[in-house]
Amino acid sequence: MRIAVLSTNRSLYSTSRLVEAGKERGHEMLVINHKHCYMNITSHKPSIHLKGEEIKGVDAIIPRIGASISFYGTAVVRQFEMMGVYSVNESVAITRSRDKLRALQLLSRKGIGLPVTGFANSPSDTADLLKITGGAPVVIKLLEGTQGVGVVLAETKKAASSVIEAFRGLKANFMVQEFISEAGGSDIRCFVVGGKVVAAMQRTGAEGDFRSNLHRGGTAKLVRITPEERSTAVRSAKVMGLNVAGVDLLRSNHGPVVMEVNSSPGLEGIESATKKNVAGMIIEFIEKNARQGRTRTRGSG
Ligand code: ADP
């Protein structure tokens, strides 16, 4: 097959591993920088161009769309879909999971365990917002943040009110979430491919940080997950309509709760913590499922 990885940088670990794994399995692999693609969107001749040439003959794409370029990146994925090219994660599914509020609302509707969460933009009643989420300590998150930036733990009601006031001043969307202290600064990343958890790791934050992001100095190790965690991860990916997803869970006293479902989960942390060939599993999934024109929306709204 001719498989394209949509990525802005071919030397990124995840991109180069996917290329390597595809070649190992006998495929022709190319990296397309979606940022530089331009398109003819007219329906009788949808096409994608790059550096003066039309992109042709691609059987499947693996979108690796960074959060900062979601809008344009998903438009490029959609264009491939219009051309009948199979995308391992569909544009609608990527968009669904990228919008954190929409994603949590959809997960909640399907009965997936979530930390008690309140959303707000400019609440007129900070005290009541805190009350409906169970009161301090709470975690307050800026919606636009990634990799733990804009995620604040407010241990007292006073601290929480000041952070909310500050976020309000920024005119940003944010959420106020029950602090799962029993998670002990760790979370679980379940890597889902084709409806199965193929690898899972536990990430623990640097000393003194409740955030376990690897980019913030956290460490990762292989973890055995419970059947409940496994089914929560699989169901979450399904609700989003994602074939490839990184589902982040916290171990709470009331079972696994989902923080986020990531549509372009990184491969470096998970492959080194679990020693599994996750890139190879993604390619294998494509081999079994890619068909011309086979894209449909399987998520839940
Ligand atoms: P980002 O998407 O920016 O990484 P997250 O929502 O994943 O932000 O939060 C970053 C980290 O903070 C998580 O990996 C987790 O370790 C910790 N964390 C986030 N929300 C909570 C919570 N409600 N209770 C306890 N820890 C949390």
Task: Band the pLDDT of 27: cuts 50, 70, 90.
Answer: very high
Report the predicted TM-score, pTM, of the whole model to 2 decimal places: 0.94
- Signed CA dihedral, 142, 8, 20, 23: sign only: positive
- Please report whether residue 291 resides in a domain: no
pLDDT of residue 207: 84
Whether 157 and 136 have beta carbons less than 8 Å apart is answered as: yes
- Boundary of a domain, candidates 179, 210, 227: 179
Do 109 and 211 lie in one domain? The reply is yes
pLDDT of residue 284: 98
Average pLDDT on 156-174 reads 89
**How many structural domains comprise the chain?**
3
| SS3 sequence of 50-65 | ECCEECCCCCEEEECC
Instruction: Among 99, 211, 216, 252, name the best residue to mutate to test ligand 1's pocket (greatest count of ligand atoms within 8 A of Cβ).
Output: 211
Do 278 and 196 lie in one domain? The reply is yes
Instruction: Among 117, 144, 151, 212, name the best residue to mutate to test ligand 1's pocket (greatest count of ligand atoms within 8 A of Cβ).
Output: 151
pLDDT of residue 149: 73
- Model confidence over 76-88: pLDDT tens digits? 999 999 999 999 9
Do 278 and 215 lie in one domain? The reply is yes
Do 133 and 218 lie in one domain? The reply is no
pLDDT of residue 299: 55
- Which of 16-30, 162-176, 235-249 is the least confident region? 162-176
- Please report whether residue 26 resides in a domain: yes
Amino acid at site 49? H
- Please report whether residue 157 resides in a domain: yes
pLDDT of residue 146: 65
pLDDT of residue 230: 98
Chain centroid, CA 278 distance in Å: 16
Whether 89 and 63 have beta carbons less than 8 Å apart is answered as: yes
Residue matched to tokens 């491919």: 193
Q: Which of 185, 76, 81 is nearest to 139 (CA)?
A: 185
- Please report whether residue 160 resides in a domain: yes
Question: Which residues have a Cβ under 8 Å from the Cβ of 152 and sit 6 or more positions away?
Answer: 139, 140, 141, 163
pLDDT of residue 301: 54
Domain that residue 197 falls in:
97-113+182-284
- Please report whether residue 75 resides in a domain: yes
Average pLDDT on 7-19 reads 97
Do 79 and 198 lie in one domain? The reply is no
Residue 113 Cα to ligand 1 middle (Å): 15
Average pLDDT on 100-113 reads 95
- Please report whether residue 289 resides in a domain: no
Query: How much is the mean pLDDT over the chain?
Result: 92
Do 75 and 150 lie in one domain? The reply is no
Helices in 142-190 by DSSP H: which ranges? 157-169
Do 73 and 190 lie in one domain? The reply is no
Task: Band the pLDDT of 223: cuts 50, 70, 90.
Answer: very high
Residue 151 Cα to ligand 1 middle (Å): 7
Do 230 and 102 lie in one domain? The reply is yes
Is the confidence at residue 185, as pLDDT, over 60?
Answer: yes
Residue 89 Cβ inside 6 Å of ligand 1? The answer reads no
Is the confidence at residue 300, as pLDDT, over 70?
Answer: no
- Please report whether residue 221 resides in a domain: yes
pLDDT of residue 296: 62
Task: Band the pLDDT of 127: cuts 50, 70, 90.
Answer: confident
- Which of 80-94, 98-112, 123-137 is the least confident region? 123-137
CATH number at residue 22: 3.40.50.20
- Signed CA dihedral, 9, 14, 16, 22: sign only: negative
CATH number at residue 265: 3.30.470.20
Percent of the chain topping pLDDT 70: 96
Task: Band the pLDDT of 145: cuts 50, 70, 90.
Answer: low
DSSP string across 239-292: HHT-SEEEEEEEEETTEEEEEEEESS--SHHHHHHH---HHHHHHHHHHHH--T
Is the confidence at residue 216, as pLDDT, over 90?
Answer: no
Do 206 and 107 lie in one domain? The reply is yes
Task: Band the pLDDT of 126: cuts 50, 70, 90.
Answer: confident
- With vertex at residue 215, the alpha carbon angle to CA 114 and CA 156, rounded to the nearest 5 degrees, is 50
CATH number at residue 142: 3.30.1490.20
Task: Band the pLDDT of 195: cuts 50, 70, 90.
Answer: very high
Do 188 and 135 lie in one domain? The reply is no
- Please report whether residue 292 resides in a domain: no
Contacts 24+ apart (CB under 8 A), 71-80: 72/34, 72/35, 73/6, 73/34, 73/35, 74/98, 75/39, 76/6, 76/34, 76/37, 76/39, 76/48, 77/6, 77/34, 79/37, 79/39, 79/41, 79/46, 79/48, 80/48
Do 59 and 103 lie in one domain? The reply is no
Do 220 and 252 lie in one domain? The reply is yes
- Model confidence over 250-299: pLDDT tens digits? 999 999 999 999 999 999 999 999 999 999 999 999 999 998 777 665 55
Residue 187 Cβ inside 6 Å of ligand 1? The answer reads yes
**Environment class of 70 (CB within 10 Å of its CB; exposed 0-12, middle 13-18, buried 19+):** middle
Question: Which residues have a Cβ under 8 Å from the Cβ of 234 and sit 6 or more positions away?
Answer: 192, 195, 196, 197
